[in-house]
Structure 1
């Protein structure tokens, strides 16, 4: 990590989340956005952003295979906050080509297949969503999984050529849910059914007691592989 980002992390690591968000929203006005998958953390950040700036840009990726409960939360969120979250979809031609090669659930046959599915349905739409931005805000937390333990509050995303801001990086699970309850933030009802992390319907299951928070994502793979590729390239 460059000296600039080390300095930025030193400056902001003791500040509360609202202060960090306020600074970046003001400094990068019109060039900053929250990427929301409608998880608990993203809902917390949506609530904070709208309170700071009702016109703050928020976008989401609709892979075409999300749970019905996630679509319901999309609508609920728009109505509660009187916003219109931008939604990006995968290219239909590329999805059709993927189906011809893999079939409907071929992503379970290998890590390579699964990553290709994520590439078509998530990574390419993300790149379109990030066009013209200088900063993207995420709901990543360090304690979520082994693949996120070294992430920092402020990072440079080499793959996408912009700053990645992770305001909740130091939060634990309890702090997230305390905020949701105290502020009456809408959340995905699947969380109440044992789903701490929610992605595409066929790639997500409830977890058992004692399993880590990401155990229900791509559960047939080893823990070190459990990223779709959105958050691996950074420096």
Structure 2
């Protein structure tokens, strides 16, 4: 279990200690558990806890072929800092080519259906492949992040992928995440300091404006309040 960090707010420190206990419990129950990291700040905090505790939870990210250079560079920083190589799971190149040949390289701007089709090829199918045969997976989702996540459970059965799903940071606030990240000098994506609280594929993500919702920069040309890509199918409300 992690030692107390005396520089932290007491509530944050309790969250940090509880997170380590939670991760150890998940690892004991599911030795084959994997963590799907977006390489966002929440996921970097979670990865730090996993690496520092030496837990056998495999960390991977979905390399869609359209990630920001800053995001890809972060995988290298993880290797330098922790001596761990993040598995970069990529989409089927034939499926990508077929979609682009039929609809164009930027078809996702044309309709929600085409955007979801692109997400399905570049994100959902690779995730399904990465989770195949596993008994559990982890995410860095938090309830604060969007309207679709306000009821997010720390543990739930993921019927879409057929395994247990854990969201250990569900009750955390963004302030608590950053407090830990700064206290422990956890590496993070520099785009967060350029107005990107939520970072996905480069053509589908923009910086948000003051006062905007934290997810406003994702699929910013769409007007729907429910903006999910299909990775967390139980939260999608059409």
CA contact (8 A) 1:37 1:60 kept: yes
Distance 1:39 1:155 in 2: 22
Residue 132 (structure 2) pairs with residue 131 (structure 1) = yes
Distance 1:66 1:57 in 2: 21
Distance 1:56 1:78 in 2: 16
User: 2:157 is paired with a residue of what secondary structure?
Assistant: strand
CA contact (8 A) 2:147 2:226 kept: no
User: 1:16 is paired with a residue of what secondary structure?
Assistant: helix
Residue 6 (structure 2) pairs with residue 44 (structure 1) = no
Distance 1:169 1:55 in 2: 22
- Aligned residues: CA RMSD: 1.4
Distance 1:225 1:142 in 2: 14
Residue 25 (structure 2) pairs with residue 23 (structure 1) = yes
Q: 1:232 maps to what in 2?
A: 233
Cα shift at 1:48? 0.3
Q: 1:71 maps to what in 2?
A: 72
Q: Would the alpha carbon gap of residues 55 and 204 (structure 1) be closer, same or farther in structure 2, given more than 3 Å must change? A: same
Residue 197 (structure 2) pairs with residue 196 (structure 1) = yes
Q: 1:9 maps to what in 2?
A: none
Cα shift at 1:151? 1.2
CA contact (8 A) 1:36 1:60 kept: yes
Tell me the alpha carbon deviations over residues 66-97 of structure 1, each in whole angstroms, 9 at most, x when there is no partner. Answer: 00000110110121110011111000100001
Q: Would the alpha carbon gap of residues 17 and 54 (structure 1) be closer, same or farther in structure 2, given more than 3 Å must change? A: closer
- In the alignment, structure 1 segments of 5+ residues that lack a partner are 1-12
Residue 154 (structure 2) pairs with residue 153 (structure 1) = yes
Q: 2:112 maps to what in 1?
A: 111
Q: Would the alpha carbon gap of residues 124 and 96 (structure 1) be closer, same or farther in structure 2, given more than 3 Å must change? A: same
**Residues paired across the two proteins, number:** 220
Distance 2:145 2:223 in 1: 15
Distance 1:223 1:20 in 2: 34
Cα shift at 1:54? 5.0
Distance 1:209 1:224 in 2: 18
CA contact (8 A) 2:75 2:85 kept: no
Distance 2:49 2:173 in 1: 17
User: 2:233 is paired with a residue of what secondary structure?
Assistant: coil
Distance 1:68 1:150 in 2: 33
CA contact (8 A) 2:155 2:166 kept: yes
Cα shift at 1:135? 0.8
Distance 2:78 2:223 in 1: 33
Relative to the length of structure 1, the TM-score reads 0.91
Cα shift at 1:146? 0.6
- In the alignment, structure 2 segments of 5+ residues that lack a partner are 1-14
